[in-house]
Structure 1
């Protein structure tokens, strides 16, 4: 048993002596003179995070969870619990219940005091639903929320569909982070017309001066291959096909998902894997005509 003196200025409530000890094994805190137990559980009062200063040292600070742009209030607001119990766990009286209910109502109303705030809350709620449908990471959602907030500040949302703008922001975030999600995937998840998302995306691209990187079709191969359960050998050969076509400038202006699907289909044909054009087209969410056209171009580059 290891005994350690803590809080030397604390005084025992029973004997009045200044000799408080703590047991690091059991977590009990008690008086070293009379043995009176103050608490049975030891709570860590140390810092949770460390913030590094400019001078090179560390500054221990105790803080809460990080803020997030994907939340309406960035995670800074407090919420009144829905459980009708006090701090000690006892149920509230009937008069206090009605008082707390009124406080909850005014608390929720005070958080949204403008049309822009209501707009933002509705948009970010829809963004959270799209995250689950498309299986996206937190970094993509943070980028999409940032783009939507910028569009809201510039007044680009006024007169347009909130769902269309948030879907266009999400598609722009996917392109910026090189996440393999095409426009058709976002349109189906958001239940919005593909043309509406394209129109909103062009507005965001122009007004916010976005610079999008060119999507590498090699990154789309893993997604299609996992759906079709294609072997690793065929996947690597498909990547080799795309790299060869890229050296001959045969990928310029082509849909990356269609190129990846055509390369996988060619690799399956070479390695005698039973995958039809329809199977690959459904997995890649493209048409069979697209696969045939891209297949001809890739065959030309291979020859």
Structure 2
């Protein structure tokens, strides 16, 4: 059914989302099951095979799924021999190909595909969601089309786009975490990061200790009361301006160190540093600034014995 404006919707449930049944080619109301549209085209790969011989032939007859980020939508025409070897229409008596394979993929699309593959590989290694991957792909596409990063490698640009996408989606990763799954060093990724923000006139939210605290604490296996205390300590340290100039990651690591030593599960600076990607000396420097104000940093309901805390 269609409304006056031409938009397909259910007459009884106009605001209900529609479900695409690609096998039947129908659009179905999620509330009542009414078929409100038909002849929906499935742009995915077709995996049927019409050969009686299984062999090693690829049953996909239409190539990869459509990618709207590619200028040519990755369309190709590949002509190959039949499974029985008797495809006289495509090959002459001597076995030479009568027709040439046609690949319409441009060098620009090839660059995009390589970048998208690199972004997907990096995201898989650190368990990032598809939403973040899609945003990173879009960022790279915009940068590539604008020719804003000439002279910089595709891998560096892709890594920077993934870093920006993580921050824009509210699940930031540190530069060291991105570097760990990338082929590029921190300096080059940082350089591309700044250029991309300037070129696309976009921005990212300022990172805080709260952005990293839950993940760091979870990876360290800290109980919930210690996690809450560490989050409170990190937030208060910034509010009281106790750690001026210190990065949120080093403050978060120092807060975890302080909270753990006020509990039964005491962690070393090295254990925390390995998870947070921060050097022991960096944690110590932030902790030494926070230690004199420890009583002001802990939550009021936390049973704190100051003598339990190390001085450095």
| TM superposition shift of 1:271 | 0.9
Question: Distance in 2 between the 1:103 and 1:239 partners?
Answer: 69
- CA deviation map 1:204-243 (0-9, x unaligned): 1111112110113123122222222111111111112123
- Find 1:150's aligned residue among 138, 142, 147: 142
Conserved 8 A contact 1:49-1:63: no
- Find 1:233's aligned residue among 218, 225, 237: 225
Q: Does 1:175 align with 2:167?
A: yes
- CA deviation map 1:16-61 (0-9, x unaligned): xxxxxxxxxxxxxxxxxxxxxxxxxxx984724569xxxxxx9535
Question: Distance in 2 between the 1:154 and 1:44 partners?
Answer: 39
- Find 2:191's aligned residue among 186, 189, 199: 199
| TM superposition shift of 1:79 | 7.8
Alignment-derived partner of residue 42 in structure 2: 64
| TM superposition shift of 1:195 | 0.7
Alignment-derived partner of residue 47 in structure 1: 26
Alignment-derived partner of residue 298 in structure 1: 290
Question: Counterpart of 1:95 in 2: which secondary structure?
Answer: coil
Q: Does 1:106 align with 2:85?
A: no
Alignment-derived partner of residue 94 in structure 1: 85
Question: Alpha carbons of 1:48 and 1:82: their partners in 2 closer, same or farther (altered >3 Å)?
Answer: farther
| TM superposition shift of 1:77 | 5.6
Conserved 8 A contact 1:69-1:145: no
Question: Distance in 2 between the 1:266 and 1:251 partners?
Answer: 14
Question: Distance in 2 between the 1:203 and 1:269 partners?
Answer: 42
| TM superposition shift of 1:148 | 0.6
Larger helix proportion of the pair: 1
**TM-score for both structures, normalised by structure 1:** 0.69
Question: Alpha carbons of 1:183 and 1:82: their partners in 2 closer, same or farther (altered >3 Å)?
Answer: farther
Question: Counterpart of 1:158 in 2: which secondary structure?
Answer: coil
Question: Counterpart of 2:26 in 1: which secondary structure?
Answer: coil
Q: Does 1:123 align with 2:106?
A: no
Question: Distance in 1 between the 2:80 and 2:221 partners?
Answer: 48
Alignment-derived partner of residue 261 in structure 1: 253
Unpaired segments of 5 or more residues in structure 1? 1-42, 52-57, 85-90
**TM-score for both structures, normalised by structure 2:** 0.67
Question: Distance in 2 between the 1:92 and 1:235 partners?
Answer: 62
Question: Alpha carbons of 1:154 and 1:189: their partners in 2 closer, same or farther (altered >3 Å)?
Answer: same
Question: Alpha carbons of 1:75 and 1:186: their partners in 2 closer, same or farther (altered >3 Å)?
Answer: farther
Question: Alpha carbons of 1:44 and 1:211: their partners in 2 closer, same or farther (altered >3 Å)?
Answer: closer
Question: Distance in 2 between the 1:269 and 1:225 partners?
Answer: 14
Question: Distance in 1 between the 2:142 and 2:255 partners?
Answer: 38
Question: Counterpart of 2:204 in 1: which secondary structure?
Answer: coil
Question: Distance in 2 between the 1:150 and 1:180 partners?
Answer: 21
Alignment of 1:218-229 (within 5 A): 218-229=210-221
Question: Counterpart of 1:196 in 2: which secondary structure?
Answer: helix
Q: Does 1:166 align with 2:161?
A: no
Unpaired segments of 5 or more residues in structure 2? 1-21, 45-64, 92-96, 297-312
Question: Distance in 2 between the 1:222 and 1:103 partners?
Answer: 62
Q: Does 1:134 align with 2:101?
A: no
- CA deviation map 1:108-143 (0-9, x unaligned): x22x12x21111111111111111112111111111
Q: How many pairs are equivalent? A: 247
